[in-house]
Every structure is written in C-alpha cells, then in structure tokens.
Amino acid sequence: MNTNELKELSEKIVEEGKAFKKKVCVCCGAGCLSSGSEAVLESMKQTIKDKGLESTVQVIPSGCMGPCNQGPLVKILPEETIYEKLDGDAVEALVDDHIVKDTPQEDKLLFSEYRDKPFVDSREDPFFKRQKRIVLENCGRINPESIEDYIGVNGYQALAYALHRSSPEHIIGEIKLSRLRGRGGAGYPTGFKWETVYRHVADQKYVVCNADEGDPGAFMDRSILEGDPHRVLEGMILAGYAIGATQGYAYIRGEYPAAIKRFEEALKQARKKGFLGRSIMGSDFSFDVEIRIGAGAFVCGEETALLASIEGKRGTPRPRPPYPAESGLWGKPTLINNVETFANIAPIVISGGTAFGEVGTPKSAGTKVFALAGKVQISGLIEVPMGTNLRDIIFEIGGGIPGGHKFKAAQTGGPSGGCIPEQHLDHPVDYESLQELGSIMGSGGLIVMDETSDMVDVARYFMEFCVDESCGKCIPCRVGTKQMFDLLTKIYEGRATDIDLATLEQLAHVVKDTSLCGLGMSAPNPLLSTLRFFKEDYIQHLKDSALANV
C-alpha cells in the first residue's frame, strides 16, 4: 500500500462510517472481560440484528474505556454516553430506550451511584474532564482487532509521512524537540536514546518494545496493547526507520493473553497491508516485528535482563556499560522503549515535537497513563498531563476515598517507588517532583491507601515481592532484600527493638547503593519513604513490642 492508497482507504472508511447513525462500543479490555462483557457484546449484536438495525447501528468490541471497576461498560457514539455494570439481560431495554426512542437510561449511566445527576455525555464527568488523552485517544472508540478502524482515525499516516516526506534525522529531531521521556520508569529522554542508537554504525540494529509490565496493581501497558495495538506497532516501525533497524521484538508478559492475541493480529494485518515486511509503502525501508513472550519475571523489566531473555538465556541483568544502545541484542545496537513510549510517537510525528511539548511541564512533557487502584472510589485507567497534582487525580478523577475514610498515602512506582503522605497531595506528578519525595514515576502504577493501612505492612508487602522476584545474581539484592523483609516482619509482629529499626534503615541504604540493577537499587524505596513520612507506624509497633515484653 502506497501513500495515495492509504489516503483513499482512510477517506473511504470514514465515509462508510457516516452511514451508521450510532456506534456501540462494548469494552473488551481485561477488566470488563472478567466481568462478563463478552456476553454483553454478543447480546448487543443479536439484539441489533433482531430489531433490524444493522444498517444504521454499528456494534464493535473496544479496548479499555477507563473506569474499570464499573464494568462491563458500553459506550454509545456520537452521544459519548457510557453505561455501566451491564449484563446481557439489560441490553434489549437499553437498545429500545437509547437507540430506538433516543431516551438515555439515567439509572444505568456511568457513575449513577456517585452523582446526583449523572452525565449523558461522559466527557462532562470529572473522571474524563480532568484527563487529556493522547496515548489513550483511540482506546474504547475503535475495534483493536481491525486495522481498518485504526486507519480510519489516521492510523499509519505518520509512517507514510516519515517514509515519503521526511528523514530519519528529522524524525529524531522532532522526538528530541518534543522532550518525550521514556515512560517505562527511568524517564530517560527518548530522542537522545534514539539518536545514540542511530549514530552507532552496525550491519544490524534492533528495536525492542518492553511490554513486561510487572508492578503489582499496574495495567497501563496491557490496556494500551489491548485497546490500540496498531498505535504501538506504528511507533515501533517509526523507531526502526529513524535508527536504521530492520528487525523489532515485542516482549510481552505471558499473563496478558488478550494483549498477545491482539498484537499478533495487528502484525498479520500490517504485513498484509504492506506496513511491515520488505519495501514498506513502496519505500526502500524494510522492517518486521516478532513477539517474544515473557514468563513473568519482574527482573526482566530491566533492559539487559529482558535482552538476555529474548536471546533465550536466563533473564538476569548484566553490568553496564556497554549500554544496549551500543551493544544490545546479540551484541548489536538496540533501542528499547516501553509500550506507552511507542504509543506517543505517531502523534509527535503528525503534530510535531513543539505541539507535544506544550503539554505537561518544562522538564516532563506530554501526558502520563496511570493505573489508579486501591482505596479510591473510582479505579481504572487514566491519562493526565504531566504536572497534575495527586489531589486532583485522587479526589477529582478518582472520586475520593470510599467508606468515609481519610486519605493516608499514595504509592507510585510499584515496588520501586515510594509512599507519599497527605501533606504532599498538591505536589505535581512529574519525574523531578516524585524524586524529591523519595518516590519515582515508574511505569505508572498509583495505589491509594486510607488510614486503615499499616505502612509497616505496606513496606513488608513490597519487600516480600522483591525477595521473590530477585534473580539472585548479586549478593546485596539476593541477601539484603531477604534480611530487610525479615526485619520488617519482626517489627510488624511486635518482636523488634530500636536496634532492629536502626539496622533496617542502614541495610536499606547499603542495598540501594551496591545492587547490580534497578530491582535491587530501588527495592528499599517503599521502606525508606515510609520511614521518612510514616515513622509513627514503626514506632507504634516498637511500643507494642516493648509492652509485650514487660
């Protein structure tokens, strides 16, 4: 498919879509699937058919719409109306009322249990109104298993522009201009990473998409792959063109069957349309992508461990330098970015780096996707401009703390992050601000805790996770995390002394400073941040221990 054919197909798809008066999107993201959305989808298709509405009403499965704890969800376009917690039996009445009579069912509208008057146009609800969707703009609106749906929303236009109207140097320049930083956790400037790989001369280069999302409570990358796989794939192809690679690998966690299935289908469709393979879109650029399925080792989120796993070796990290940009897969220059980073590339190429950089903060441009979970009224997938504060995320978008409880802490960055107290709720969420508080952005997990949470137990939970997930290659991580877990358990169970607490803090700094990779270096973060902001929880356990020994 050449550029003209892509343009003609896009226009044709848009025109065909105008024949439908309404479009019904049934969420088939993992959360809604687990709530029974497949039955809702089949019931919706059958009801529309039985009522003879097939020529005017289009029914599609979609990716995640956002409010995951309200599923199964159904969105009706163009009204932007979302209905929550539907089952197959409720579909016929919904079709009769909203589609036939054009009368929304207010008692089934999204957040009807939280709002005095729920919004017919879901975009007016605070959950969506406070968000800005760049990465998630297509999720919940298109069929993720249809390349035509993606093309109909300007899919692969960025690739066409890059191949026929731009150059690798220009594309890298736009990524640098955008100030996009890697969304996998470290926050390294994406454009500089691309430029580094581009400058290395080699007979072979590789592009790797890290979809080995392993943080407890995190589901951002999974949801993006499930809801808009072609957006991620287009970003990988653009990266291959920019750095001079001919082969890509998507390393996807094995616990994500829907994401794997949809990305596999995206690869097949892209090859058939000529967006993958030899002489892409009539150019002299050739590039292909293969999937590698991860076995669920958290350490394989670290880039050198991930590369070892792709090569068929045990997934353990290696010392750096050399960095993967110089010597990665099979010793060749390799670009590694995560799912969300690649999903930002096409919008930057289309709109320009300057426009992208206008969103967010001077040092943290663009938006960030978060998995909002824990003790919060509305949990799910959200996307906000960098610099949005935690108060707005938790109390405006998330609806606050349920059950009349008080907020206690927000944990960002998963097992590598830290716990942020109430006095810092107005702190902006960006890379630098979170670092100041002893936490990190991470891949985007955000867990909310109320006053019933014991922060010693929270630190103990994350430390136990790190003990289980340590690859054991280096002694500080292998032995140190276990010793910290044992000390935390001793404190939690009321068997500890002041000396144990001092030893624990000292050991945390040793493990942080001497571990080989990011897992061990960041494993003490939840412990250190809870000691910094919630030391009273530790002191209370020590008091209980002292009383028990009287």
The DSSP code sequence of 308-325 is: HHHTTS-------SSPTT
How many CA atoms are closer than 13 Å to the CA of 52, on its beta-carbon side? 0
Cβ-count burial 102-119 (b if 16+ within 10 Å, e if not): eebbeebbbbbebeeebb
Query: What pLDDT score does 416 carry?
Result: 87
3-class DSSP state of 319: coil
Query: What pLDDT score does 1 carry?
Result: 81
Query: What pLDDT score does 216 carry?
Result: 84
Query: What pLDDT score does 550 carry?
Result: 55
Query: What pLDDT score does 214 carry?
Result: 85
**Is the Cβ–Cβ distance between 49 and 56 less than 8 Å?**
no
Candidates 227, 238, 315, 304; CA nearest to 275 is 238
Q: Is 251 exposed, middle or buried (0-12, 13-18, 19+ CB in 10 A)?
A: buried
3-class DSSP state of 448: strand
Residue position matching structure tokens 């500089």: 192
**Is the Cβ–Cβ distance between 402 and 375 less than 8 Å?**
yes
Can you tell me the distance from the alpha carbon of 314 to that of 404, in angstroms, rounded to the nearest whole number? 48
**Interstrand relation of 74-77 and 22-27 (parallel, antiparallel or unpaired):** antiparallel
Query: What pLDDT score does 142 carry?
Result: 98
Domains in the chain, CATH or no CATH each: 19-124 (3.40.30.10), 147-356 (3.40.50.11540), 367-450 (3.10.20.600), 455-548 (1.20.1440.230)
**Cα radius of gyration (the chain):** 24
Query: What pLDDT score does 403 carry?
Result: 92
Element (H, E) at 447: strand 445-450
How many CA atoms are closer than 13 Å to the CA of 284, on its beta-carbon side? 2
Element (H, E) at 238: helix 229-243
Query: What pLDDT score does 184 carry?
Result: 85
List Cβ neighbours of 164 (8 Å cut-off, separation of 6 or more): 3, 281, 283
**Is the Cβ–Cβ distance between 434 and 441 less than 8 Å?**
yes
Helices 535-548 and 498-514 cross at an angle (nearest 10°) of 140
Residue 450 amino acid letter: D
**Tens digits of residue pLDDT in 517-534:** 999 999 999 999 999 999
**Is the Cβ–Cβ distance between 442 and 416 less than 8 Å?**
yes
Q: Is 495 exposed, middle or buried (0-12, 13-18, 19+ CB in 10 A)?
A: middle
Question: DSSP assignment, residue 403?
Answer: G
Query: What pLDDT score does 10 carry?
Result: 95
Task: Pull the structure tokens for residue 211.
Answer: 């979809």
Query: What pLDDT score does 544 carry?
Result: 81
Residue 437 amino acid letter: L
How many CB atoms within 10 Å of residue 479?
14
**Interstrand relation of 407-412 and 81-83 (parallel, antiparallel or unpaired):** unpaired
Bridge partners, residue 49, by sequence? none
Helices 525-533 and 535-548 cross at an angle (nearest 10°) of 80
Within the chain, which residues score under 70 in pLDDT? 547-550
Query: What pLDDT score does 441 carry?
Result: 87
**Is the Cβ–Cβ distance between 263 and 291 less than 8 Å?**
yes
Query: What pLDDT score does 461 carry?
Result: 95
Can you tell me the distance from the alpha carbon of 314 to that of 494, in angstroms, rounded to the nearest whole number? 39
